[in-house]
Structures are given as C-alpha cells and as structure tokens.
C-alpha cells in the first residue's frame, strides 16, 4: 500500500494550492473535509441514522442534510455532539481509508485542516505543514473570501496554535513567495518523497 502524507496548515496557508500541485504530479489526494460530506449524502446509512435521531426537521426540502440546522442542534449540547461524532468519525475514517487505498502513486496525501486537532496525524506516516507568516495568511484569506481581515483573525483564534502544528511537522513548506516558487518547492518535495519507503528516510 502507498504510504500516507498528512497535509495541513492554517486557514489560507495554501493547502489547496499545494495539494492541487501534488495532484497534477500524479499523487493521489484525499480531502478529509470532502469525506465528511460524502458520508452524509442522501442514501448513505449515516443520514438515515441522523434523521432517526434528530427528526425529519434536520433535512432540506430536497432530502439532503441541513448542515446549519444540525450545527444548531449540537451547538451547546455536548451529549448530542458526542452522539454525532461517535456516529461520523469512524465512517469518515473508513471513507478516507477506502479512498487512500485506491491510490496507485507510491504515496498518497490526506489533506486535513484539523489534522493535528483531530488526532488524525497519528494515522499518517509523515506530516507536511504549510506555514505562512500570520500577516500574509490574513491578507490572502481576506482577499480570497472577500471578507474583512478582522473576520479572518477571529477564525485564527480557534485553530490550533501555529506552534502546536509545527511541533508535529516532519516537513515545513513556508509559503511566503509567489505561486511559481511554491510549485517548484512542491516538485522538490515530491522528488524527495519518491525516495522514501513508508514515509521515512
Ligand atoms: P483554507 O484552509 O481556507 O481552505 P488553504 O490553506 O487551502 O485555505 P489556499 O486556498 O490554497 O489555502 O490559499 C489561500 C489563497 O491564497 C488562495 O486564494 C490562493 O490562491 C492564494 N495563495 C496561496 N499561495 C500563494 C502564493 N504563494 N502566492 C500568492 N497567492 C497564494
């Protein structure tokens, strides 16, 4: 099986830009956030269990999950939150594992903004952190999302401290130059990763 690289970084650090370039080099990429959405799609057993637990009010008219309604139900309700996490976490793990197993590249990438906070870093063979100075992170995210720098700063506060992320990093990509340079760095890392067995030197 391919070895697994966990890719993480703060909001607007450049995870997507980095993952997209690895993918263009032929590396199989799985996004943990996407997997979390797939497990509750209509027709999947988890959605039926959520409806049985919270009632039909948790669905949109079209039959899909009403995420804001669900968020409301678990907000400030640790018991309900725990029920939901116990249902979804194993399913998300299985979904990610299933997609990673399809990889034909020598290594595969799991992108997860919460790789460290969720403990998922323990399930990967190596951790790559995309890091940027906070001022750049705030400016790029505000420009991309057309929101205020203040709004971005409030999101930063609830994410794992940069130091905590860096503590778990095997490799750090400092994304403080232009996109062409970033691609070159991804290619350099890719060549290095191809020399590894099981993600280790
Ligand atoms: P999020 O966690 O919010 O999804 P992310 O970590 O995936 O963010 P990206 O979306 O890849 O970050 O990058 C944030 C923004 O910064 C994007 O608009 C991206 O195009 C831009 N960006 C990323 N790297 C660079 C760079 N080196 N130079 C200029 N712009 C960049």
Q: Given this model, what pLDDT does residue 160 score?
A: 63
Domain map (residue ranges) of the chain: 1-27+105-201, 33-95
Which residue of 9, 11, 14 sits with most ligand 1 atoms within 8 Å of its CB, as the best mutation to test the pocket?
14
Q: Is 16 annotated as a binding residue?
A: yes
Cα angle: 11, vertex 16, 17; to 5 degrees: 115
- The answer on pLDDT for 157 being more than 80 is no
| Contact status, residue 125 vs residue 170, Cβ threshold 8 Å | no
Quote the percentage of the chain above a pLDDT of 70: 99
List, chain by chain if needed, residues with CB within 6 Å of any ligand 1 atom: 9, 11-17, 113, 140-141, 144, 175, 177-179, 182
And the tokens for 8? 């993480």
What is the tens place of the pLDDT at every residue in 52-91? 999 999 999 999 999 999 999 998 899 999 999 999 989 9
What is the tens place of the pLDDT at every residue in 121-135? 999 999 999 999 989
17 Cα: distance to centroid of ligand 1 (angstroms) = 6
Q: Given this model, what pLDDT does residue 154 score?
A: 85
Quote the percentage of the chain above a pLDDT of 90: 83
Q: What is the 3-state secondary structure (H, E, C) of 170-191?
A: CEEEECCCCHHHHHHHHHHHHH
Residues 6+ apart with CB under 8 A from 56: none
Which residue of 16, 36, 173 sits with most ligand 1 atoms within 8 Å of its CB, as the best mutation to test the pocket?
16
Could you identify the atom of ligand 1 that is nearest to the CA of residue 181? 27
- Indicate the pTM of the whole model: 0.87
| Contact status, residue 168 vs residue 46, Cβ threshold 8 Å | no
182 Cα: distance to centroid of ligand 1 (angstroms) = 11
Closest residue to atom 16 of ligand 1, CA basis: 140
Q: Does 1-27+105-201 carry CATH code 3.40.50.300?
A: yes
Which residue of 6, 8, 17 sits with most ligand 1 atoms within 8 Å of its CB, as the best mutation to test the pocket?
17
Query: Which stretches within the chain are classed as H helix?
Result: 15-24, 32-38, 45-54, 67-74, 78-101, 134-145, 149-158, 162-167, 179-193
Q: Is 142 annotated as a binding residue?
A: no
| Contact status, residue 7 vs residue 19, Cβ threshold 8 Å | yes
Residue 159's pLDDT band, with cuts at 50, 70 and 90, is low
Q: Given this model, what pLDDT does residue 56 score?
A: 95
42 Cα: distance to centroid of ligand 1 (angstroms) = 31
């Amino acid at each position: 099986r391919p070895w697994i690289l966990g890719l993480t970084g703060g909001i607007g650090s450049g995870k997507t830009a980095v993952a997209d370039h690895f993918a263009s080099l032929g590396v199989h990429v799985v996004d943990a956030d996407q997997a979390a959405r797939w497990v509750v799609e209509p027709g999947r057993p988890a959605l039926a269990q959520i409806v049985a637990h919270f009632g039909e009010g948790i669905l949109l008219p079209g039959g899909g999950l009403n995420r804001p309604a669900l968020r409301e139900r678990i907000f400030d309700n640790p018991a309900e939150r725990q029920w939901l996490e116990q249902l979804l976490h194993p399913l998300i793990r299985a979904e990610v594992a299933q997609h990673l197993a399809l990889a034909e590249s020598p290594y595969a990438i799991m992108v997860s903004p919460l790789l460290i906070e969720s403990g998922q870093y323990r399930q990967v063979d190596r951790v790559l952190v995309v890091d940027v100075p906070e001022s750049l992170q705030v400016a790029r995210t505000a420009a991309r999302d057309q929101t205020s720098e203040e709004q971005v700063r409030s999101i930063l506060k609830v994410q794992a401290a940069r130091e905590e992320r860096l503590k778990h990093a095997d490799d750090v990509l400092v994304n403080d130059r232009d996109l062409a340079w970033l691609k070159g760095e991804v290619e350099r890392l890719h060549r290095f990763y191809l020399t590894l067995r099981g993600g280790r030197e």
